[in-house]
């Protein structure tokens, strides 16, 4: 069984994940520090806090996913290099 993986596509996926994480991080400055919703101010502020916390968690998850995609790309690259090694190259590594 053969698997063909385009490492350029993986790089694009990682880049998209990084961009999404950055986009969420960039929203941080747009959150109001005070909420004026009358008697519901505390409830609205609590909900806003939960949204901001979730956005932060999502950003971290996106960054982690991007790093995993890059790691997988590295593994595929090494596997390709190892599978294309000639017998002479393998012998030279074995002799070391």
Quick: pLDDT tens for 30-88: 888 888 999 999 999 999 989 999 999 999 999 999 999 999 999 999 888 888 877 77
Q: Is 50 buried (19+), middle (13-18) or exposed (0-12) by CB count in 10 A?
A: exposed
* Threshold 0.85, pTM exceeds: no
The confidence score (pLDDT) of residue 1 equals 58
Half-sphere CA count of 22, side-chain side, radius 13 A: 7
* Confidence label for 2 from pLDDT (cuts 50, 70 and 90): low
């Amino acid at each position: 069984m053969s698997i063909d993986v385009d490492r350029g596509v993986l790089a694009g996926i990682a880049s998209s994940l990084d961009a999404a994480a950055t986009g969420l991080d960039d929203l941080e400055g747009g959150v109001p520090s005070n909420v004026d919703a009358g008697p519901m101010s505390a409830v609205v502020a609590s909900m806003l806090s939960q949204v901001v916390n979730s956005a932060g968690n999502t950003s971290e998850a996106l960054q982690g996913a991007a790093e995993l995609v890059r790691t997988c790309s590295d593994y595929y690259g090494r596997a390709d290099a190892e599978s294309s090694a000639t017998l002479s190259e393998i012998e030279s590594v074995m002799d070391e």
